[in-house]
Each structure stands twice: as structure tokens, then as C-alpha cells.
Amino acid sequence: MPKDIENLILGYQQFRKRYFSHPNSDFEELVLWGQNPKVLMIACSDSRVDPAIVMNCRPGDLFVIRNVANLIPPYEDDQSYHGTSAALQFGVCNLDIRHIILFGHTQCGGIQALLRRSPNVCQEKSFIAKWMELAKPAYEAVIEHHFDQSFAEQTTLCGHYSLVNSLRNLETFPWIAERVKKNSLFLHAWNFDLERGILEAYDSEERCFKELKNNENSIEVCQVQTCK
Ligand SMILES: [Zn+2]
């Protein structure tokens, strides 16, 4: 058996030992009562940024959507195939989620490809190209305001702008806007800095990303951006 698959099976055995070898396990309750997550996360497909691992979550804690560059499309009622929007609708309308967290990260391959205008992103009829069009406002903001910065800095900035853009797109969904207005649903944008292992949260009043700490008083400004 290939080593990669063997490792997965070893992991699966440990998982079974942890969750299925004793009574009253997390799964027993989850099977009996069904899932009841309060948090929906939209993360990148990148193998390094599994939100359940970063946040040390247990089964049933997170309802997760993953796609290239953790993008949210705007609300489009065109009877087309919208995987991300369908999962959003299920989480918000069926599971009654309380928080939606956009979970971006530094060194994002999708964002890098967009900035490099890589063949996959420029190619006509490329799925990636079409998908990354959603981050065009972020790309344009970086080209306009940060053209003289290094590629690594531009990638991080573009990721930040893209999170703010997706935050706006979330509010174009009527069943999200309605719940946000009633204070029954809260929207967040977080960014995971891979190099430093730090989570930053978007402060919509100050329009900047700040390091996330559990004590609100000790939040430090990590990096200030002017997100339009
Ligand atoms: Zn990514």
C-alpha cells in the first residue's frame, strides 16, 4: 500500500480509538441529536489551513466550506450551480448558524496566481480563472495602492482586501443581510499568518486587521490597512 494512504489509515485508526472506543463519545451525541454547530467557516482548500486543526475543534463544532482562496461570490439568482452559496444557505437557513467566519491565510496560492497573472488564471475557460474573478476588486486595490511593495507583501495585502470583498458579498444574500440586521448572525473575517502562526481579525470600524487574542483589552494592532 502506498505510504500516503497507509498514513491515512493509521490516522483513521487513531480517530476510531479516540471517538468510537468508549461510551458517551462526542459522536454518540452527534448521532443522537444531529449536528448543531454555531460557527460556519469559509476556508481555503490549502492543505496547511484546516480551520478545525488551527482552532483545535472537535467533531460537530464547525460547519466548514472550503474553496480556492476562500472566496464568497455575490448573491446570484440565476439557477446555476453554486456550491459555495448552497452550503452557505444550508448553514444559515437550516442549521441556524450564529457566526460566519471567513478564514483567509498568507501565502495563498490562488491570490499569488492572481497577482502573477499566471497561465491558469489568465487562460480562457479555466475554472480557476473564472473563480478568481471574484477577487478582482482586491487585485485592483493592490495594483493601485501597493504597486511598489514586495510580492510577498502584495500577496498578504491582496488576501486582506479579498476578505473584505467577500465580507461585502456575504451581505448580498438576503437571508444573511436580514439576520445580520436583527443581530442574530455575526460576520467575521480572520486571516491566518502561516509564517508567524498568528490569527488576525478584521476590525470593520477601524478598517484594519488586528491580532486576535481572547482578552479583548490586550488586542494589539498587527497590521493596519486601508481597506476600501
Ligand atoms: Zn489559499
Gap from CA of 47 to ligand 1 centroid (Å) = 9
Measured CA distances, 68 to 45, 124, 130, 157, 207 (Å): 6, 18, 11, 17, 24
Residues 120 and 47 in one domain: yes
Residues 39 and 26 in one domain: no
Gap from CA of 30 to ligand 1 centroid (Å) = 30
| Mean of per-residue pLDDT scores for the chain | 91
As beta bridge partners, residue 40 has 63, 100
Gap from CA of 95 to ligand 1 centroid (Å) = 26
Q: At 216, is the pLDDT very low, low, confident or very high (cuts 50, 70, 90)?
A: low
Residues 178 and 211 in one domain: yes
Residues 211 and 168 in one domain: yes
Q: At 64, is the pLDDT very low, low, confident or very high (cuts 50, 70, 90)?
A: very high
Residues 46 and 122 in one domain: yes
Q: Does the residue 122 lie in any domain?
A: yes
Tell me how far apart the alpha carbons of residues 202 and 205 are, in angstroms, rounded to a whole number.
Answer: 9
Please check the confidence at residue 168 and state whether its pLDDT lies above 70: yes
Q: Which domain holds residue 170?
A: 35-223
Average pLDDT over residues 143-167: 95
Which of 190, 173, 86, 67 is closest to 130 using CA atoms? 67
Residues 76 and 110 in one domain: yes
Gap from CA of 148 to ligand 1 centroid (Å) = 23
**The pLDDT value given to residue 65:** 98
User: How many domains is the chain partitioned into structurally?
Assistant: 2
Q: At 228, is the pLDDT very low, low, confident or very high (cuts 50, 70, 90)?
A: very low
Q: Does the residue 228 lie in any domain?
A: no
User: pTM higher than 0.85 for the full model?
Assistant: yes
